[in-house]
Amino acid sequence: MIRVLELIKVRNADEEGFTLIELLIAMGLFGILTTVLFSIVLNSANTVKTTRQSTDINEEARTALNRISREIREARAITGAVNPVGSTYSSVTDTAITFEVDLSGSETIELDEIITYRYEFNNKRLVLRTGNGGFAPVLAANVETFKISYFSQVFNCDKDKDGIITWEEVESALTPCPDDAGDSDSPPTLDVELTSINRVVVELTLLKGTRKQDYRTQIDLRNRPL
C-alpha cells in the first residue's frame, strides 16, 4: 500500500508544469497580444507625425499667404509677371509677381518698396526680393506648386460674357474693348495688360513628408489707381 502511494506521488509530481500544447498556445496568445500592442503604438506614432506635418504645413502656408495678401492688397501697381496662369502657363518653371507698394506712406516708391515674390521651381521654395537687391528669408519651403491668376474689371473686354475677365481676354479683345491696354502678343504675354489688373488669385501647394495640402486666396488691389 505504501509503495502504491509513493508511485502516485511521483506521478503527480511529474505532471506538474505546462504541456507542449499549453506552451504553444501561450506563445501564440503572447504573439498576438504583442502584435496588437505594436500596431497600436505604430498607428499612434504615425498619427502624431501626420498631425505635426499638417500643423507645420498650415503654419508655413498661413505665414506666406498672409504676407503676400497684405502687400499685394496695398500695391499701387503690378509691374511684372512671370509664368501667369493661362494658355502659356508651365508647371515646371519659375513663377513670379513684381509690384510697387508704398509701405512707408511717403507717396514715393523707393527701391525697397518694389517687391518680387518668386517661386524657384528647382529649389521648391518661395522667396522675396526687393528692388534694391534685398533678399528676405525663405517664405516657404517644400513648395510643390505656386500659381498666380490675373483678372481685370474692364467689363468691355469680357470676351465670353461670363463676368470673369482674364488677362488674356484683355490682351486679345482689341475690339470691342476701347479701354483695353492689350497688345495682342503671340504667344500671349502679360505685360502692358498689367495696368488693367486689379485682382489676383494665388494658389499654393505644400508637400512635407507624406502630407500634401492645397491653399488658395483671392486678393483685390485696393490702392491701384483707377
Condensed to tens digits (0 to 9), the pLDDT of residues 107-127 reads 889 998 999 999 999 999 999
Per residue, the 3-state secondary structure of the chain, as one string, reads: CHHHHHHHHHHHHHCCCCCHHHHHHHHHHHHHHHHHHHHHHHHHHHHHHHHHHHHHHHHHHHHHHHHHHHHHHCCCEEEEEECCCCCCCCCCCCEEEEEECCCCCCCCCCHHHEEEEEEECCCCEEEEEECCCCECCCCEECEEEEEEEEEECCHHHCCCCCCCEEHHHHHHCCCCCCCCCCCCCCCCCCCHHHHHEEEEEEEEEEEECCEEEEEEEEEECCCCCC
- Predicted pLDDT of residue 174: 56
pLDDT > 90: percent of the chain? 38
Distance CA(31)–CA(43), nearest Å, equals: 18
Does position 212 have pLDDT exceeding 80, yes or no? yes
Q: What is the mean pLDDT of the chain?
A: 83
Does position 2 have pLDDT exceeding 60, yes or no? no
The pTM of the full predicted model, rounded to 2 decimals, is 0.75
Structure confidence at residue 209 as a pLDDT band (50, 70, 90) = confident
How do residues 78-98 score in pLDDT, each as one tens digit?
Answer: 999 999 999 999 999 999 999
How do residues 9-34 score in pLDDT, each as one tens digit?
Answer: 554 545 556 677 877 887 888 888 88
- Predicted pLDDT of residue 7: 46
Of 51 and 201, which is predicted with more confidence?
201
Is the Cβ–Cβ distance between 131 and 113 less than 8 Å?
yes
Does position 164 have pLDDT exceeding 80, yes or no? yes
Mean pLDDT of 183-207: 88
Does position 36 have pLDDT exceeding 60, yes or no? yes
How do residues 122-159 score in pLDDT, each as one tens digit?
Answer: 999 999 999 887 777 788 988 999 999 999 988 878 87
pLDDT > 70: percent of the chain? 83
